[in-house]
Amino acid sequence: MANDTNLFQNLISHCKEYGYIFQSSELYDGLSAVYDYGQNGAQLKKNLRDEWWKSMTQMHENIVGIDAAIFMHPTVWKASGHVDNFSDPMIDNKDSKKRYRVDHLIEAHAETLAGPEKDALLQQLDQLLAKDDYAGLKKLIEEQRITCTVSKTCNWTDVRQFNLMFKTEFGAVASENPEDNIVYLRPETAQGIFVNFLNVQKTGRMKIPFGIAQTGKAFRNEIVARQFIFRMREFEQMEMQFFVRPGTQMEWYNYWKETRKKWHESIGIPSEKLRYHNHIKLAHYADAALDIEFEFPFGWKELEGIHSRTDFDLSQHAKYSRKKIQYFDNDLDEQGKPYGNYTPFVVETSVGLDRLFLTILSLSYAEETWTKEDGTEDSRVVLKIPAKLAPTKLAILPLVKKDGLPEIARALMDDCKGSFMCFYEEKDAIGKRYRRMDAVGTPFCVTIDHQTKEDNAVTIRYRDSMLQERIPISEVKKKILELIS
Ligand code: GAP
């Protein structure tokens, strides 16, 4: 049996072999930490995005969705603090010239230590980061004799800050001052929500508390990009900013903390694979923050962030744009007076779609072996993706490609394909086709055989249990709709 590391490597190969994820520009040897989603990956990603979008905008009457542009006015990033603060402490190895994020370097070393030692080191790391104590971080790296994976030496530079935003030039007109044409690729989708707060609030006649949701690409020039699609340079976020009355933010922070964890459980992530991690060092905009962590094959890591962002972003945009960004609240307070004008506080939920994808795939991937009734061994690789998320729901398989069976199968395909994703295949032995559907993660297969012509019944096979049963062909669509709802 493969161990966790092998299993993760096998999962990565499986993703490529079955059209889930390809290295970007693979023809040219790839681009580091950038990936393309194949035919099955794109559909799984869409299904996850749709689930999130529905849970936010359809299931909450007070949350609406927008789709803001990736390019934004450069002052947005000055106002938000990203130009000055969106950086990570880095350290370079003088021999290999390789650059590392300090926290990742120390965390990776901590993983090699025994329990109490590991906890003590991580605690020290958190404390030094919270104080921005760069000299202390370097000392810790040297004391622990942490070496570079390439040069294997402990010959380090000082710790420095490195901004993670990608810059590009906007428009064709050259300016005397090159800074004039600079725009950034957004490092988070959240700012597109903040700058549209007034537009949405006014046109949607939204009453506080209310939320604005958005999904879309974000870009970060990550220095240590590793663990497959866990940390990418181009990735997708699903963010929701919830605007609340000042002073009520902790109540809503706790509400969203619970609600988001329950949502992850509702899409099939076991509760024991999820936990909260409170931040000690808070981002420049937050008065409370935590991660919802998932136990990935390489350890517990952040899946989603819940942040109480105060009124920082709206106040900053008001200051930099010189516009009034406030809300008039005519509800009455405890003294019976209207609350009046104020800058709302914000609670944010922010989950990486690619990380969620990796979460679902790492839970679903299984290498199974068993002994058959005749005593021989059998095995399969299966993706047990929850049926409602699986890219293809139903495979329709005529036993042979003659005797009128393909015609019956095609008629069933035509009946079902308007309601859910189906896949038709008539090549190869049926056992081989079942195995291929297991590997792709298709939860249900229906086989049309010669008896179907007599009794109008088909065999339905369930991916996870491999059990089969006979059902009337007229009931297939209804049954699948029930199973995926
Ligand atoms: N607007 C707040 C924000 O962006 P964050 O904790 O930096 O907060 C939120 O990011 C989520 O985005 C993370 O929990 C993670 O799921 C995802 N994410 C962040 N950086 C990522 C990267 N380089 N690759 C993939 N996903 C990433």
pTM for this structure? 0.90
Q: Whose CA is nearest to atom 12 of ligand 1?
A: 352
381 domain residue, yes or no: no
Burial of 179 (C-beta count, 10 Å sphere; 0-12/13-18/19+): exposed
- Is ligand 1 within 6 A of the CB of residue 234? no
Q: Would residue 287 count as lying in a domain?
A: yes
Say yes or no: 269 and 200 in one domain.
Answer: yes
Q: Does 169 map to a domain?
A: no
108 and 40 housed in the same domain: no
- Same domain? 405 vs 459: yes
pLDDT-derived band at 211 (thresholds 50, 70, 90) equals very high
Q: CATH number, domain at 109?
A: 3.30.40.230
CA 230, CA 312: separation in Å to the nearest integer? 29
Residue 30 lies in a domain: yes
Q: Domain residues for 159?
A: 87-163
Give the domain CATH number at 206. Answer: 3.30.930.10
66 and 103 within one domain: no
CA of 354 to the centre of ligand 1 (A): 10
User: Are 136 and 70 in the same domain?
Assistant: no
Query: How far is the centre of ligand 1, averaged over its atoms, from the C-alpha of 173 (Å)?
Result: 34
Which atom number of ligand 1 is nearest to the Cα of residue 187? 4
For the stretch 241-300, pLDDT in tens is 999 999 999 999 999 999 999 999 999 999 999 999 999 878 878 999 999 999 999 999
Query: Is residue 376 a part of any domain in this protein?
Result: no
- Number of folded domains in the chain? 3
Quick one: 294 and 321 in the same domain? yes
Looking at residue 175, its pLDDT comes to 66
Looking at the structure, tell me whether residues 222 and 321 fall in a common domain: yes
In a domain, 372, yes or no: no
Q: Which residues pair with 370 in a beta bridge?
A: 378
Is residue 279 in some structural domain?
yes
Kindly give the number of the ligand 1 atom that is closest to the alpha carbon of 352: 16
Q: 359 and 474 in one domain? A: no
Q: What is the mean pLDDT of the chain?
A: 94
Q: In the predicted model, is pLDDT for residue 164 greater than 80?
A: yes
Judge if 241 and 355 occupy the same domain.
yes
Q: How many CB atoms lie within 10 A of CB 258?
A: 11
Residue nearest to atom 22 of ligand 1 (CA): 231
Nearest-5° Cα angle at 399, 396 to 402: 105
Please determine, for residue 404, whether its predicted confidence score (pLDDT) is greater than 80: yes
Cis peptide before 209 (omega within 30 of 0): yes
Distance (Å, whole) CA 112 – CA 106:
10
* Nearest residue (CA) to ligand 1, atom 15: 352
Nearest-10 crossing angle of helices 134-143, 102-110? 30
Range of weakest confidence among 11-25, 35-49, 121-135, 428-442: 121-135
Q: Is the CB of 88 under 6 A from ligand 1?
A: no
pLDDT at 23 over 90: yes
